[in-house]
Chain A
Amino acid sequence: MFSDNIKQSFVALIAGLIFGLGLIVSEMVNPAKILAFLDVAGEWDPSLAFVMGGALITAGIGYKLIFSRSRPVLSSDFLLPVKKEIDGKLVMGAALFGIGWGITGLCPGPALTALTIGATEIYLFLLAMIVGIFGFKFSRKFLGQT
């Protein structure tokens, strides 16, 4: 009755809602909680480790079962990263992301989830993040790099 494309969009909507609920329930939308985890020399809050633990056990088992299938339910292929080697881009990118995360306590998922529940400063962070994401992608494209 519905095309796979419509069904995939419905799955994406539900997945986005559940993902966001997880971030709110675990309070990971609150940068103060993130910074309290990262502040190992202060009054350390282990919450983020439990969030990641819960997510990793769930997704780890789930993925294992899913990858025993030959294909996803609504699509022809699993689209997984093919790169295996650790290169300078990965190391430099992760390092820069970590610095930005450490300065603000915000990463992309929580920042987007906080759009309607954060003080107005969240708009500045999101705007800067989007400029960073697409500025980088546009410059790559127009400078002809891969």
Chain B
Amino acid sequence: MDISSLIPALGGGILIGLAAIGLMLFNGRIAGISGIVGGIFPFKSNDTGWRVIFLVGLVLSPFLYRIFIGQITEINFDTSLPLLALGGVLVGVGTQLGSGCTSGHGVCGISRLSIRSITATLIFMATAALTVFLIRHVLGA
């Protein structure tokens, strides 16, 4: 693998970090996507707007990328439809039960040196790697 291919990874990570900084400095909020989505319910009049608007920004970001940076090739999925649905439900339930995902625990939580977030990140990295190992190297899908 070419080392220069890791520069976009580092640059993208810095952008994610800057977004987390902005949301904390101005709004005092954690940039955890599963938390931002989950917090929409139960509805609170002064707390729902920013969540929806943040998510709108996330969804619109590809258009900004196309305007200022370049083309984006369509993303394809190799996972079968039943497994995509199962995975979606597990991601949904798991992030709410475990109070966070890759961004909330993995980026914002670890940045605050939260023991809960460090623990959660180690656990989901481990079960994810184990799942990939089982699917690719044991079941041989």
Contacts and interface: CB of A to CB of B under 8 A. Distances in A.
Contact of A104 (B26, B84, B107): B84
From DSSP, what is the main secondary structure of chain B's interface residues?
helix
Given A63-B24, A94-B123, A54 B13 contact: yes
Interface string B1-32: 10001101111111111111111111111110
B11 A25 contact: yes
Given A18-B15, A20-B60, A97 B98 contact: yes
A96 B52 CA distance: 26
B17 A56 contact: yes
B123 A103 contact: no
Given A12-B23, A16-B57, A55-B20, A38 B132 contact: yes
7 interchain residue pairs of minimum CB distance: A132-B92, A93-B98, A16-B57, A26-B12, A20-B61, A54-B13, A58-B17
B44 interface: no
B53 A12 contact: yes
A116 interface: yes
B13 A53 contact: yes
Contacts of A39: 129, 132-133, 136
A92 to B, nearest CB: 6
A26 B30 contact: no
B40 to A, nearest CB: 8
Nearest to A10: B53
From DSSP, what is the main secondary structure of chain A's interface residues?
helix
A75 B16 contact: no
15 contacts: A12-B23, A13-B54, A56-B13, A59-B107, A80-B112, A94-B120, A100-B90, A101-B87, A101-B124, A104-B77, A108-B103, A109-B33, A116-B62, A126-B88, A132-B94
Contacts of A73: 25-26
A76 B123 CA distance: 34
The CB with the most chain B CB atoms within 10 A, among A18, A79, A128, is that of: A18
Contacts of B105: 94
Contacts of A54: 9-14, 16-17
B8 to A, nearest CB: 5
Nearest to B89: A132
Given A31-B77, A62-B20, A62-B24, A12 B94 contact: no
B15 A91 contact: no
Given A15-B23, A54-B12, A128 B60 contact: no
A101 B93 CA distance: 12
B13 A50 contact: yes
A119 B44 CA distance: 34
Contacts of B18: 18, 22, 58, 62
Contact of A63 (B72, B111, B130): B111
